[in-house]
Amino acid sequence: MLNDQKVSYSGVQPSGNLTIGNYLGAIKNFATYSEQYKCFYCVVDSHAITVRQVPAELRRRTYETLALYMACGLDPEKNTLYVQSHVPMHTELAWILNCYSMFGELSRMTQFKDKSEKHADNINAGLFTYPVLMAADILLYQTDIVPVGIDQKQHVELCRNIATRFNQLFPDTFTIPEPIISKSGMKIMSLAEPTKKMSKSDENTNAVVYILDDKDTIIRKFKRAVTDSDTAVRFAEGKDGINNLMTIYSCFTGKTLPEIEREFDGKGYGDFKMAVGEACADALAPVQEKFRQILADKAYLEEVMKKGADEASYYARKTISKVKRKVGFVI
Ligand code: AQP
């Protein structure tokens, strides 16, 4: 809570081209809080370097992610949009919170285990303490709600534990945040391996639909999506591929699962996949159009970044000063 207003905070890593998982699970929902909450939405570049990035690509994607936020409906006048590394209080608070976070609890994080397996040659300390930096991001703004996909719920729960521990030692320091998981787009799965999350860093680009894919590419990817040997479009255990496509179709059309089953009753997977591709491409077309316009104006994007960083710093500074005082630093 800041000045009697509830706070919404979230972020996306510029670690690859953004997917419909990032869109449906997170960004699309951010704008729903703009009117009632004080909203901070960050491009979390410091998190992105926990896996190796090509510097020029990281820089380009930082601009693109900010432009996508705006193309998805986030008005910079109503939301604080900024880049994480522009507000050094994030890393400053992360260090302090590191000293109040336990090795054991960090070792249990599933994302750390997954990413350690995926990047076995680079299991760096940043990857391990990633959730502490995320806790700092959230707690700096006295956040009430954190809209995220279900894969990030564990990290928000850890953040709550760290904040509660800190508050027990130093009362009234942090607001305890709640994760808000979007019901419809909870977890979008890979089109090639539907038991695995769709991720922007997946090397198999056919497994992932990017927000900026053109219509032909989107339809081709859905046509190739892995399904099963059954023919009925119905949501059921063991039909991971079809369940995933039904979830995606439901998110883009607003139709319920029973409505989708009725719509495709007696029709094959081919018709269904085509319809999912069309619905996805049609929904993304206006976002893509707006994205291109915004990205073309780099000076404007830089202005938004600067204004966002100034606004965020104002609030972040208040929290970091309080924290430093409480732990006994001379300030
Ligand atoms: N497949 C998904 N379904 C639903 N939500 C998803 N999110 C990510 N993938 C899905 C949500 O998007 C937000 C931003 O994610 P992130 O960039 O901070 O990190 P991530 O969760 O690690 O996303 P990726 O796409 O898998 O990135 P890489 O490949 O770099 O690790 C979060 O709210 C997340 O829940």
Measured from the CB, is residue 200 less than 6 Å from ligand 1? yes
Longest pairwise C-alpha distance within the chain: 72
Q: Token pair for residue 326? A: 């409480």
Amino acid residing at 232: A
Kind plus residue range of the DSSP H or E element containing 319: helix 298-327
**CA 249/CA 253 separation, integer angstroms:** 6
Share of the chain above pLDDT 70, in %: 99
pLDDT at 186: 75
- pLDDT tens track for 299-331: 999 999 999 999 999 999 999 999 999 999 998
pLDDT at 179: 95
Q: How many angstroms separate the alpha carbon of residue 20 from the centre of ligand 1?
A: 10
Measured from the CB, is residue 149 less than 6 Å from ligand 1? yes
Burial class (CB within 10 angstroms; exposed 0-12, middle 13-18, buried 19+) of 84: buried
- pLDDT tens track for 138-167: 999 999 999 998 889 999 999 999 999 999
Mutate which of 43, 61, 151 for ligand 1 pocket (most atoms within 8 A of beta carbon): 151
- pLDDT tens track for 111-125: 999 999 988 999 999
- Where residue 241 falls among pLDDT bands split at 50, 70, 90? very high
Tell me the DSSP string of 186-235. Answer: S-PBPSSSTTSB--TT-S-GGG--BTT--HHHHHHHHHH----S------
Q: How many angstroms separate the alpha carbon of residue 122 from the centre of ligand 1?
A: 20
pTM above 0.85, yes or no: yes
Amino acid residing at 18: L
**CA 276/CA 249 separation, integer angstroms:** 5
Tell me the DSSP string of 130-181. Answer: HHHHHHHHHHHTT-SEEEE-GGGHHHHHHHHHHHHHHHHHSTT--PPPEEEE
Q: How many angstroms separate the alpha carbon of residue 44 from the centre of ligand 1?
A: 12
Count of alpha carbons within 13 angstroms of residue 148, beta-carbon side? 21
Amino acid residing at 312: A
**CA 75/CA 139 separation, integer angstroms:** 23
**CA 160/CA 148 separation, integer angstroms:** 15
User: For the residues 231-254, what does the mean pLDDT come to?
Assistant: 95
- Where residue 12 falls among pLDDT bands split at 50, 70, 90? very high
**CA 143/CA 10 separation, integer angstroms:** 10
Kind plus residue range of the DSSP H or E element containing 128: helix 125-140
Of 16 and 219, the structure prediction assigns the larger pLDDT to: 219
- pLDDT tens track for 183-222: 765 799 999 999 999 999 899 999 999 999 999 999 999 9
pLDDT at 81: 98
Nearest residue by C-alpha to atom 29 in ligand 1: 201
Measured from the CB, is residue 22 less than 6 Å from ligand 1? yes
Residue 3, Ramachandran bin (φ over 0: left; ψ between -120 and 50: alpha; else beta): left
Asked if residues 232 and 43 have their Cβ atoms less than 8 Å apart, the reply is: no
Q: How many angstroms separate the alpha carbon of residue 67 from the centre of ligand 1?
A: 18
pLDDT at 184: 62
Helix (H/G/I), strand (E/B), else coil: 7: strand
Measured from the CB, is residue 147 less than 6 Å from ligand 1? no
- Where residue 272 falls among pLDDT bands split at 50, 70, 90? very high
pLDDT at 233 over 70: yes
Which of the residues are catalytic? 115, 197, 200
Amino acid residing at 267: K
pLDDT at 118: 87
Asked if residues 44 and 73 have their Cβ atoms less than 8 Å apart, the reply is: no
Measured from the CB, is residue 12 less than 6 Å from ligand 1? yes
**CA 136/CA 107 separation, integer angstroms:** 18
Phi, psi of 178 (to 5 degrees): -110, 135
- pLDDT tens track for 63-95: 999 999 999 999 999 999 999 999 999 999 999
178-181, strands of its sheet edge to edge? 79-83, 38-43, 7-12, 145-148, 178-181
**CA 152/CA 11 separation, integer angstroms:** 11
